[in-house]
């Protein structure tokens, strides 16, 4: 039997387990499901409610169980809990593909290596667990999840959300209300434990051999709420009803110990878990004590023996004793014990003990913690790195008046950078605030403003982010024009999100001119091109973006990836889909391998939009689904809304009104919570498109007018950025408001002429046909629209034009001439599964005297978004193992999905898969 668990510290618990019948049955079913696939459940409840005891009952009968424990004093050590999990599974790590094996081994400090990402570690752990459970299901119990080190908590949450085909069950026990980074495991089902009912409490007392009068038991149950731990403390005489909690009883017991026993007990509480009896004896000897000084604590039931490895050592009898012991120990004793423990500890523990012993600035302790922070960064443990950098900064002596640098500010900035990488934008912004206080180096201040601006952008403090970045850019300009140019480019990002496009353009222009003697930069060029395209100046946007494409080969591996995605988006708006695809083909694999999730999410969103334009809606949906999942996991609030809108637009076109509305409601909440002004246009536009598709024309016109007003307020004048103008004309026309329809059409025609873009011109011609009084002129408009569509591949819009032309022909009593257009339009709508539009075409075809049947589409059975992402990766030439690494899945999950893909598509080889998914070439502008 596998067991990564040390013998549990004893705690008051009934001799026989009682109650929890329903909970035991539910969890037993989950454990049994490991035979069929993976699952994960969170068991939540207050201290002492019986979470651990319940999991022991459920997991005990399992064939193979590994226990992992969160330990409060180890929460600063990277991957401490994960090491406990993987120790008995080491041989499976050694069987992993090289990239995954390297990531896990570097993270666990099993060997040195290049820095890795948390996602790469998670993928490797998932793959190792899948191997371990390949022949026999595996149950993993994570006890006291709230005390896990953040890196282990992140990886285990990552694994839990991806258990599909793996025969692994993860059970988490989480205590309520601790306020720690691991207080929650989002995205998993939760089983909440409350206190036990009175009959079970009676059985509990009987099982402990306690003869308690009924009235005393009833009072105890009422006082404790049926909490088993509290009830036992009340009933076994350690304290009496009405006299406080178990912690207060422990505090009294500790205070009653002789002074040497209290000091020795603190050493036991403060020692790291791996410290054996020999180490404890040495530490106690330095303090003039010995192991025999713990006898009084043992008699009081405060310590027990933990068989960790081959050597027995005393441990606290309950984890909650630790804060009690610390609280009642005088500071001088704590400092002396920390110094003694530091002399016998490993490097990471040594640094933290030095910090605990420091009473003021301490250069040696600060240097040691800085080294700990750097090691944590290299092992993909950014939150632990942030904590170590922040503590190192606090211990750093102030700089001398004549010193050029500011080591304290440097370390605070390093802490902020690590916190932002970990997704803790609030902490990052606060650390930057601290770094900027009294900072004498303007370039260091500029770097701090850059990190703070990025953090504030994530937090939705867009005006503050933009203002700070612009100030920093102006301050850096005299000394470092290149750095100033990047800051101006970064400032343009929150301005775009805040829908302040004139200011975005002015800021981007300042970035372009910041360094007249230097070469153009990719960030500045990309943001200038984006600002011009958003404002509708497509001629200049085309030139700037062409320069950006030339600069793209010099892009930095990580810092410039978001700007490459912006450049691809601009080329898409300019109808140059081939170049957009080429740029994204460079960004996506680099972002995946570097663990650059924000850049990856942005690139997935842009690629999804390209695919939607080109009629590859399943691919677009898969990209947006992955973007949303990644943004949710890392808390990228600025990216959640756009991903939701992208999915909602396809839901609307396919007639899934409920799902579309649900996504738009959430996108609206995200916009309101984080001040994302640009979503006001897109959310209203998709609402209008949904109503238009189902024939609710007045409602469609109302939503689309709201989108138009929001676009005008923000200065958005690029007709392809949010292409809703033709929908607005059609909504007004069908609602009978021809004056407003003609007004909207004139505006659309003006933008088509001004930008020279094919799509606005095509849909303007289509709308001209809709509003024409002369039937022959209407047909001429539709013919012109069809010709323009050939310059900008957008199958859905071309099919809409065919539908409108056929409707006009039928009204002219030319049904035979209408049929070919309707058949062609119906084929496109059927392939895209655009059900409302297909239904409209079918009705028209039936009115011509011929029954319509929905086109079957290019696939006999459509793939799920995840199946499609896996299929696309394999079709691009990646092996199954490389696909698993890229998509953060286990090899077993990839293989299971790929089997279903082959079955659904009716193919047998990778070559056939590549051929079936190959995109058609798109014309370039």
pLDDT tens per residue across span 553-572: 877 768 899 999 999 999 99
Cα gap 45→30, rounded to integer Å: 19
Mean pLDDT of 779-799: 94
307: pLDDT strictly greater than 50? no
Residues shown for the chain: 925
Residue 414 DSSP symbol: H
What's the farthest any 2 CA atoms get from each other in the chain? 107
pLDDT digits (tens, 9 = 90+) for 352-382: 999 999 999 999 999 999 999 999 998 889 9
Strand-pairing partners, residue 172, are 42, 142
Are 755 and 536 in contact by the 8 Å Cβ rule? The answer is yes
Tokens of 918: 């190959």
Backbone φ and ψ for 886, nearest 5 degrees, come out as -65, -40
Which pLDDT belongs to residue 888?
A: 79
Q: Which of 109, 72, 70, 102 is nearest to 87 (CA)?
A: 109
Phi-psi region of 587 (alpha: psi -120 to 50; beta: other; left: phi over 0): alpha
Residue 835: exposure state from Cβ atoms within 10 A (0-12, 13-18, ≥19): middle
778: pLDDT strictly greater than 80? yes
306: pLDDT strictly greater than 80? no
Mean pLDDT of 855-878: 74
Are 192 and 42 in contact by the 8 Å Cβ rule? The answer is no
Cα gap 542→571, rounded to integer Å: 8
CA distance to 90, 278, 297, 891, per residue, from 125 (Å):
10, 33, 40, 11
SS3 41: strand
The alpha carbon dihedral of 678, 680, 683, 689 has a sign of negative
Question: Pairing between strand 39-45 and 190-192?
Answer: parallel
Which pLDDT belongs to residue 240?
A: 41
Instruction: Return the ∠ at Cα 570 (arms to 566 and 572), rounded to 5°.
Output: 115
Element (H, E) at 680: helix 679-693
Higher pLDDT, 180 or 464: 464
CA distance to 359, 739, 786, 797, 800, per residue, from 779 (Å):
86, 21, 10, 17, 14
Instruction: Return the ∠ at Cα 735 (arms to 731 and 737), rounded to 5°.
Output: 95
15-38: b or e for each residue (b if 16 or more CB lie within 10 Å)? eebbbbeebeeebeebbeebeebb
Backbone φ and ψ for 300, nearest 5 degrees, come out as -85, 0
Cα gap 489→484, rounded to integer Å: 9
**Which position has the token pair 């002396």?**
336
Alpha helices per DSSP H over 462-596? 462-476, 481-497, 501-513, 522-534, 538-551, 561-573, 577-594
Cα gap 68→125, rounded to integer Å: 14
Strand ranges of the sheet holding 138-143, from the earlier edge strand across to the other edge: 65-69, 138-143, 168-175, 39-45, 190-192
Please, which pLDDT band fits residue 239 given cuts at 50, 70 and 90?
very low
Element (H, E) at 168: strand 168-175
Please, which pLDDT band fits residue 177 given cuts at 50, 70 and 90?
low
Cα gap 462→224, rounded to integer Å: 48
Cα gap 734→740, rounded to integer Å: 11
DSSP codes of every residue in 849-899: T--------S-SSPPPHHHHHHHHHHHTT--HHHHHHHHT--HHHHHHHHH
pLDDT digits (tens, 9 = 90+) for 804-842: 999 989 888 888 888 999 999 999 999 999 999 999 999
Backbone φ and ψ for 68, nearest 5 degrees, come out as -130, 135
Tokens of 403: 């010193």
pLDDT digits (tens, 9 = 90+) for 410-469: 999 999 999 998 888 999 999 999 999 988 888 899 999 999 999 999 888 999 999 999
CA distance to 171, 213, 566, per residue, from 664 (Å):
34, 60, 24
Share of residues in the chain with pLDDT > 70 (%): 93
CA 100 to chain centre: 20
771-794: b or e for each residue (b if 16 or more CB lie within 10 Å)? bbeeeeebbebbebbbebbeebbb
Alpha helices per DSSP H over 38-87? 51-59, 80-86
pLDDT digits (tens, 9 = 90+) for 220-234: 888 778 888 777 777
Higher pLDDT, 61 or 778: 778
Which pLDDT belongs to residue 439?
A: 85
Element (H, E) at 140: strand 138-143
SS3 138: strand
DSSP codes of every residue in 263-286: HHHHHHHHS-TT--HHHHHHHHHH
CA distance to 653, 825, 864, 922, per residue, from 618 (Å):
12, 19, 8, 17
Cα gap 795→368, rounded to integer Å: 62
Cα gap 434→32, rounded to integer Å: 51
Tokens of 292: 């025999």
pTM (two decimals): 0.84
Tokens of 287: 């303090």
How many C-alpha atoms does 662 have within 13 Å on its Cβ side?
Answer: 6
Question: Pairing between strand 65-69 and 138-143?
Answer: parallel
pLDDT digits (tens, 9 = 90+) for 19-62: 888 988 899 888 888 888 889 999 998 888 888 889 988 887 66
Residue 403: exposure state from Cβ atoms within 10 A (0-12, 13-18, ≥19): exposed
Average per-residue pLDDT for the chain: 87
Phi-psi region of 898 (alpha: psi -120 to 50; beta: other; left: phi over 0): alpha
pLDDT digits (tens, 9 = 90+) for 729-758: 999 999 999 999 999 999 999 999 999 999
Cα gap 809→803, rounded to integer Å: 10
SS3 528: helix
* CB-CB neighbours of 475 under 10 Å: 17
pLDDT digits (tens, 9 = 90+) for 476-508: 999 899 899 999 999 999 999 999 999 999 999
Cα gap 502→497, rounded to integer Å: 12
Are 125 and 102 in contact by the 8 Å Cβ rule? The answer is no
pLDDT digits (tens, 9 = 90+) for 87-102: 999 999 999 988 889 9
Question: Pairing between strand 311-316 and 303-308?
Answer: antiparallel
Are 39 and 117 in contact by the 8 Å Cβ rule? The answer is no
Cα gap 99→695, rounded to integer Å: 53
Question: Pairing between strand 138-143 and 303-308?
Answer: unpaired
188: pLDDT strictly greater than 60? yes
Q: Which of 78, 69, 68, 113 is nearest to 347 (CA)?
A: 78
Which pLDDT belongs to residue 892?
A: 79
Mean pLDDT of 82-86: 93
Residue 42 DSSP symbol: E
Cα gap 693→700, rounded to integer Å: 9
pLDDT digits (tens, 9 = 90+) for 115-158: 778 888 999 999 999 999 988 899 999 999 988 999 999 999 99
């Amino acid at each position: 039997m596998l067991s990564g668990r040390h013998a549990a510290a004893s705690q008051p618990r009934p001799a026989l387990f009682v109650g929890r019948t329903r909970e035991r049955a539910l969890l037993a079913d989950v454990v049994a499901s490991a035979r069929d696939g993976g699952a994960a459940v969170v068991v939540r409840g207050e201290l002492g409610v019986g979470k651990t005891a319940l999991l022991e009952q459920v997991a005990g009968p399992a064939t193979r169980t590994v226990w992992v424990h969160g330990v409060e004093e180890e929460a600063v050590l990277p991957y401490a809990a994960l090491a406990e999990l993987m120790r008995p599974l080491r041989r499976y790590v050694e069987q992993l593909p090289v990239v995954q094996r390297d990531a896990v081994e570097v993270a666990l400090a099993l060997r040195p290596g290049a820095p890795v990402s948390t996602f790469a570690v998670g993928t490797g752990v998932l793959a190792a667990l899948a191997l371990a459970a390949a022949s026999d299901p595996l149950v993993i119990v994570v006890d006291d999840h709230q005390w896990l080190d953040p890196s282990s908590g992140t990886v285990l949450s990552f694994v839990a959300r991806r258990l599909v085909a793996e025969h692994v069950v993860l059970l988490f026990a989480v205590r309520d209300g601790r306020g720690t980074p691991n207080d929650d495991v989002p995205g998993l089902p939760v089983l909440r434990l409350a206190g036990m009912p009175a009959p079970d409490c009676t059985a509990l007392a009987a099982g402990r051999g306690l003869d308690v009068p009924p009235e005393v038991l009833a009072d105890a149950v009422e006082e404790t709420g049926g909490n088993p731990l509290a009830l036992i403390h009340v009933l076994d005489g350690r304290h009496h009803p009405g006299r406080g909690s178990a912690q207060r009883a422990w505090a009294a017991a500790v205070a009653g110990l002789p002074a040497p026993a209290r000091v020795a007990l603190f050493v036991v509480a403060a020692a790291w878990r791996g410290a054996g009896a020999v180490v404890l004896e040495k530490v106690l000897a330095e303090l003039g004590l010995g192991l025999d000084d713990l006898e009084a604590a043992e008699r009081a039931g405060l310590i027990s023996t933990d068989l960790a490895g081959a050597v027995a050592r005393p441990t606290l009898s309950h984890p909650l004793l630790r804060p009690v012991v610390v609280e009642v120990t005088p500071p001088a004793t704590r400092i002396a014990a920390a110094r003694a423990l530091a002399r016998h500890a490993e490097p990471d523990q040594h640094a933290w003990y030095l910090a605990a012993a420091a009473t003021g600035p301490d250069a040696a302790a600060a240097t040691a913690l800085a080294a700990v922070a750097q090691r944590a960064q290299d092992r993909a443990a950014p939150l632990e790195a942030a904590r170590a950098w922040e503590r190192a900064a606090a211990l750093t002596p102030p700089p001398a008046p004549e010193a050029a640098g500011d080591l304290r500010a440097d370390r605070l900035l390093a802490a902020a950078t690590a916190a932002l990488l970990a997704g803790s934008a609030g902490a990052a912004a606060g650390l930057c605030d601290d770094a900027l206080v009294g900072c004498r180096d303007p370039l260091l201040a500029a770097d701090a403003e850059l990190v703070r601006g990025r953090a504030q952008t994530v937090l939705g403090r867009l005006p503050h982010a933009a203002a700070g970045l612009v100030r920093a850019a102006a301050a850096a300009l005299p000394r470092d024009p290149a750095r100033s140019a990047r800051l101006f480019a970064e400032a343009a990002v929150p301005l775009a999100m805040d829908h302040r496009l004139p200011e975005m353009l002015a800021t981007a222009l300042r970035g372009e001119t910041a360094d007249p003697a230097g070469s153009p930069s990719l960030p500045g060029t990309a943001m200038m091109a984006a600002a011009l395209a958003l404002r509708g100046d497509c001629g200049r946007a085309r030139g700037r973006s062409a320069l950006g494409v030339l600069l793209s080969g010099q892009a930095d591996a990580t810092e410039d990836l978001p700007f490459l995605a912006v450049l691809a988006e601009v080329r898409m708006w300019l109808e140059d889909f081939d170049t957009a695809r080429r740029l994204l083909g460079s960004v996506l694999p680099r972002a995946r391998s570097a663990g650059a999730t924000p850049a990856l999410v942005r690139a997935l969103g842009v690629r999804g939009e390209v695919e939607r334009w080109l009629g590859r809606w399943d691919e677009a949906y898969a990209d947006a689904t992955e973007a949303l999942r990644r943004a949710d996991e890392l808390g990228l609030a600025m990216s959640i809304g756009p991903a939701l809108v992208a999915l909602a637009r396809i839901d609307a076109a396919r007639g899934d009104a409920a799902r579309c509305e649900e996504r738009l409601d959430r996108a609206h909440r995200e916009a309101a919570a984080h001040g994302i002004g640009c979503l006001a246009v897109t959310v209203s536009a998709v609402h209008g498109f949904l109503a238009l598709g189902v024939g609710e024309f007045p409602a469609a016109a109302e939503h689309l007018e709201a989108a138009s007003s929001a676009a005008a307020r923000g200065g958005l004048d690029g007709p392809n950025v949010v292409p809703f103008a033709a929908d607005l004309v059609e909504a007004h026309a069908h609602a009978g408001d021809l004056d407003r329809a003609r007004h909207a059409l004139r505006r659309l025609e003006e933008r088509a002429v001004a930008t020279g873009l094919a799509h606005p011109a095509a849909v303007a011609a289509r709308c001209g046909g809709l509003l024409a009084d002369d039937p022959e002129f209407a047909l001429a408009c539709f013919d012109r629209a069809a010709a323009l569509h050939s310059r900008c591949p957008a199958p859905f819009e071309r099919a809409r034009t065919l539908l409108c032309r056929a409707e006009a022909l039928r009204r002219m009593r030319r049904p035979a001439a209408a049929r070919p257009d309707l058949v062609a339009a119906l084929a496109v709508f059927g392939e895209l599964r655009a059900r409302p539009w297909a239904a409209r075409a079918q009705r028209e075809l039936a009115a011509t005297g011929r029954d319509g049947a929905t086109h079957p589409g290019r696939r006999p059975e459509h793939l799920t978004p995840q199946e499609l992402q896996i299929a696309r990766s394999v079709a691009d030439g990646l092996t199954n193992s490389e696909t698993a690494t890229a998509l953060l899945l286990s090899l077993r999950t990839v293989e299971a999905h790929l089997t279903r893909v082959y079955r659904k598509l009716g193919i047998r080889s990778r070559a056939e898969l590549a051929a079936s998914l190959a995109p058609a070439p798109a014309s370039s502008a």
